[in-house]
């Protein structure tokens, strides 16, 4: 197969001290030959795999040096993608890195699609599916904690956990199947209570794993947060203050719709995807810009809502309505402009609308941001998100969560079948279904295993 050579900037734009441009494909070496001059004077094309050279990246069209850099050479199939790979490691800076990439593109490389290096690694057999998924997680990790979880997954703590759960189920299934397939052999009967207990235990363990899935999602994708409030209460100030505080980690990612963009920031290890409704900074009125329906939809999608109110002007029906409509959400309430006289108190709000949301009174113009950050982190931590991340299996992939939920549903079915006094062949449907769903995560086949285990455990045959 002939795949075009691809190129991309491998480091985040503007963040790092060095910038890396990576090329992968048949022509990677030819391109390197044309745009890199080694200090030693040897030819990049002739370098053995896994070697490095110091030298200059040049623009062959203008004959000018772009930057001093290190050239790293990996030869297929012994490279990450399984193809010929070269990397230019330069001094970083948006302009220089962009310039190197453009030069590679002009020399015949094609801009890589998102994830294409990993896709090639997968297609060339360098990574299996679950590893490829984990690598994507590692690359996309936005904070150290989410990185730790992704690395953990790469090492297989989730599959270890699931294997342990499957083991209990296997013991049960193998007995059921041996009884069914060998009616004339002496295989001890299974008691209903005994089966029910095993099934309940496994359901409990699955539930605990599933509960980690929401934390996993937060760590992998970031907590989706929306700032609400009526016009001129200080939403844009809050946004800018948060962004200022986190300047180094901010990147712009296009939002899911045209009218929003996401700002990603790291609040003490919790990745926050702040949905910037594009116009906040200009008109400051989400509802006016987007319409009530869209605003309500945005609130619905959010994991966290930061509601900003102005303590210096009377409460409006809008404030009450927003609070009422977001009752079931994780919320922090900010009462802004504490530098001005307060004209209303918390008692003026409907206690049910306020619920248990922490309230932070502050001045976004001059006050410290710390109490607000504390409140957000405290709220998220209360859900158990932070403590549980260290060295515990956490479900981060939607695919895994679905498989776990389906396994649980199957077992609940089996339990119900059992309690109705229905026969083994029907009970086994749920049991085997659960095993298969768990196998989807670890990539094991079920049927042959059951049969092998029957023969290993029981003296069958006459």
How many residues of this chain bind another protein (CB under 8 A)?
Answer: 41
CB of 113 to another protein, least distance (A): 14
Q: Which window, 107-115, 279-287, 361-369, 446-454, contacts another protein (CB under 8 A)?
A: 446-454
Residue 366 as a binder of another protein (CB under 8 A): the answer is no
Nearest Cα to Cα of residue 231 among 278, 276, 282, 274: 282
| Selected binder of another protein within 129, 192, 324, 398 (CB under 8 A) | 129
Residue 123 as a binder of another protein (CB under 8 A): the answer is yes
**C-beta closer to another protein: residue 248 or 459:** 459
Cα dihedral 285→291→297→303 (10° resolution)? 0
Non-local (6+) Cβ contacts of 219 within 8 A are 143, 145, 146, 149, 271, 385, 389, 394, 396
- How far is the C-alpha of 196 from the C-alpha of 141, rounded, in Å? 41
**C-beta closer to another protein: residue 261 or 424:** 424
- Which spans in 278-316 are helix H? 286-290, 292-301
Residue 168 in tokens: 């209990």
Residue 184 as a binder of another protein (CB under 8 A): the answer is yes
Residue 459 as a binder of another protein (CB under 8 A): the answer is yes
| Selected binder of another protein within 27, 87, 145, 177 (CB under 8 A) | 177
Residue 125 as a binder of another protein (CB under 8 A): the answer is yes
Residue 426 as a binder of another protein (CB under 8 A): the answer is yes
CB of 425 to another protein, least distance (A): 3
Q: Which window, 127-135, 141-149, 260-268, 290-298, contacts another protein (CB under 8 A)?
A: 127-135
- How far is the C-alpha of 27 from the C-alpha of 410, rounded, in Å? 51
* Collapsed DSSP state (helix, strand, coil) of residue 72: strand
Residue 447 as a binder of another protein (CB under 8 A): the answer is yes
CB 117 within 8 A of CB 85: no
Strand arrangement of the beta sheet that strand 359-361 belongs to: 252-254, 261-267, 270-276, 223-228, 304-310, 330-336, 359-361
Residue 97 in tokens: 């890195």
Beta bridge partners of 384: none
Angle at 435 between CA 430 and CA 441, to 5 degrees: 135
Residue 133 as a binder of another protein (CB under 8 A): the answer is no
For another protein, the binding residues in 68-97 under the rule CB under 8 A are 77, 82
Residue 266 in tokens: 């790291």
Residue 122 as a binder of another protein (CB under 8 A): the answer is yes
* Strand (E) or helix (H) holding 218: helix 192-221
Q: Which window, 44-52, 100-108, 217-225, 454-462, contacts another protein (CB under 8 A)?
A: 454-462
- Catalog residues that contact another protein under the rule CB under 8 A: 1, 77, 82, 122-125, 128-130, 177, 179-186, 417, 420-426, 428-429, 433, 443, 447-448, 450-451, 454-455, 459-462
């Amino acid at each position: 197969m002939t795949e075009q050579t691809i190129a991309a900037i491998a480091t985040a734009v503007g963040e790092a001290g060095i910038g890396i441009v990576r090329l992968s494909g048949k022509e990677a070496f030819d391109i390197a030959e044309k745009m890199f001059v080694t200090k030693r004077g040897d030819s990049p094309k002739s370098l053995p795999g896994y070697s490095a050279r110091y030298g200059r990246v040049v623009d062959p069209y203008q004959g000018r040096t772009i930057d001093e850099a290190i050239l790293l050479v990996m030869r297929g199939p012994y490279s990450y993608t399984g193809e010929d790979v070269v990397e230019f490691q330069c001094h970083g800076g948006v302009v220089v890195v962009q310039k190197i990439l453009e030069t590679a593109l002009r020399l015949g490389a094609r801009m890589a699609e998102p994830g294409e290096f990993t896709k090639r690694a997968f297609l060339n057999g360098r990574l299996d599916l679950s590893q490829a998924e984990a690598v994507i997680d590692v690359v996309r990790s936005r904070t150290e904690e989410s990185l730790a979880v992704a690395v953990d997954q790469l090492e297989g703590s989730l599959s270890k956990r699931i294997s342990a759960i499957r083991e209990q189920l296997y013991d049960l299934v193998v007995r059921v199947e041996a009884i069914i397939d060998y009616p004339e052999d002496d295989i001890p009967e299974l008691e209903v209570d005994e089966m029910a207990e095993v099934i309940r235990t496994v359901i409990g363990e699955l539930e605990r794993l599933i509960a980690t899935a929401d934390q996993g999602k937060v760590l992998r994708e970031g907590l989706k947060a929306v700032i609400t409030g009526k016009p001129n209460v200080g939403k844009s100030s809050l946004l800018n203050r948060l962004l200022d505080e986190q300047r180094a980690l901010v990147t712009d990612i296009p939002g899911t719709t045209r009218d929003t963009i996401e700002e990603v920031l790291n609040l003490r290890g919790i990745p926050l995807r702040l949905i910037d409704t594009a116009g906040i900074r200009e008109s400051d009125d989400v509802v006016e810009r987007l319409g009530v329906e869209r605003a309500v939809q945005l609130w619905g999608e959010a994991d966290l809502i930061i509601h900003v109110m102005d303590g210096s002007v009377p409460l409006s029906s809008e404030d009450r309505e927003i609070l009422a409509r977001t009752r079931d959400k994780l919320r922090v309430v900010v009462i802004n402009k504490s530098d001005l006289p307060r004209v209303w108190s918390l008692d003026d709000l409907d206690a049910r609308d306020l619920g248990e949301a922490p309230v932070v009174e502050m001045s976004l113009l001059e006050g410290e941001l710390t109490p607000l950050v504390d409140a957000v982190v405290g709220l998220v931590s209360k859900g158990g998100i932070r403590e549980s991340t260290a060295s515990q299996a956490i479900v981060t992939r939607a695919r895994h969560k679905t498989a776990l939920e389906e396994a649980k549903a199957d077992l609940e079915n089996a339990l119900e079948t059992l309690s109705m006094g229905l026969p083994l062949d029907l009970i086994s449907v749920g049991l085997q279904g659960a095993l298969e769903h768990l196998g989807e995560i670890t990539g094991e086949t079920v049927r042959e295993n059951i049969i092998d285990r029957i023969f290993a455990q029981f003296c069958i045959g006459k």
